[in-house]
């Protein structure tokens, strides 16, 4: 059995993956992929933003939240500002429109392809913002844990 080596989540090159899909003309795949990265970062970010030690039940509930709920939670706790909140809501609505109208959209139509491509590029930008904030949260959490560890060693 061949085991595929996985890349740590914080080291995944979402830009490279999504750009490759765009380059190969798979704009719908690219859009859904970047949306998936955004959703995954938002979910993980909630888990590291808290005090930690979440039960499996809480972790499971968070992982099943809809993206609109994840976005709202991040806005309420102050992880994202109003501008990023609005951008996330817009990209989420576009994703819902695409997935709910998949059978009827003209994927071969140049305007449709350009709309999806534009939203994908916007998603890459949004994901970059989310990733910076997410990574900052990880770094702050690590410093806090290190500080607490040093306090108890005194």
- What is the extent of the structural domain holding 113? 13-153
Confidence of residue 145 (pLDDT cuts 50, 70, 90): confident
- Residue 124 confidence (pLDDT): 97
pLDDT of residue 29: 95
Q: What is the pLDDT of residue 154?
A: 59
Which tokens sit at 34? 């970047």
Asked if residue 125 belongs to a domain, the reply is yes
Q: Where are the alpha helices (DSSP H) in 4-109?
A: 14-23, 27-49, 56-63, 67-76, 82-100
The reply to whether 98 falls in a domain is yes
Give pLDDT, residue 76. 95
Q: Is the distance from CB of 77 to CB of 49 less than 8 angstroms?
A: yes
118 in a structural domain: yes
User: Is residue 45 domain-resident?
Assistant: yes
For residue 12, what pLDDT is reported?
79
| pLDDT beyond 70 at 8 | no
Q: How many domains does the chain have?
A: 1
Q: What share of the chain is helix, strand, coil (3-state, %, to 5)?
A: 75, 0, 25
Residue 2 has pLDDT above 60, yes or no: no
Tell me, yes or no, whether 8 lies in a domain.
no
CB 70 within 8 A of CB 42: yes
Is 5 inside any structural domain?
Answer: no
% of residues, the chain, pLDDT over 70: 88
Interhelix angle 27-49/82-100, nearest 10 degrees: 130
Buried b (16+ CB within 10 A) or exposed e, 30-44: bbbbbbbbbbbbbbb
CA–CA dist 63, 26 (Å, integer): 27
In this structure, is residue 114 part of a structural domain? yes
The model's confidence at residue 152, banded by pLDDT at 50, 70 and 90, is low
CA count, 13 A, side-chain hemisphere, 142:
6
Q: Average pLDDT for residues 122-128, to the nearest whole number?
A: 97
Q: Please give the average per-residue pLDDT across 66-95, as a whole number.
A: 96
pLDDT above 60 (res 4): no
| pTM for the full predicted model | 0.84
Quick one: residue 62, left, alpha or beta (phi over 0 = left, psi -120 to 50 = alpha)?
Answer: alpha
Helical axes 82-100 vs 110-153, angle rounded to 10°: 130
- Is the pLDDT at 30 greater than 60, yes or no? yes
């Amino acid at each position: 059995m061949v085991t595929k080596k996985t890349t740590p989540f914080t080291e995944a090159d979402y830009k490279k993956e999504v750009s490759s899909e765009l380059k190969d003309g798979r704009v719908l795949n690219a859009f859904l992929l970047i949306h998936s990265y955004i959703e995954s970062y938002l979910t993980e970010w909630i888990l590291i933003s808290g005090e930690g030690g979440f039960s499996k039940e809480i972790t499971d509930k968070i992982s099943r939240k809809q993206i609109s709920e994840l976005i709202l939670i991040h806005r309420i706790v102050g992880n994202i500002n109003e501008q990023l909140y609005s951008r996330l809501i817009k990209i989420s609505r576009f994703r819902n429109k695409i997935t709910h109208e998949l059978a009827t959209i003209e994927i071969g139509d140049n305007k449709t392809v350009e709309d999806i491509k534009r939203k994908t590029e916007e998603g890459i930008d949004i994901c970059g913002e989310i990733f910076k904030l997410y990574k900052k949260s990880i770094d702050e959490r690590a410093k806090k844990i290190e500080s607490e560890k040093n306090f108890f060693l005194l």
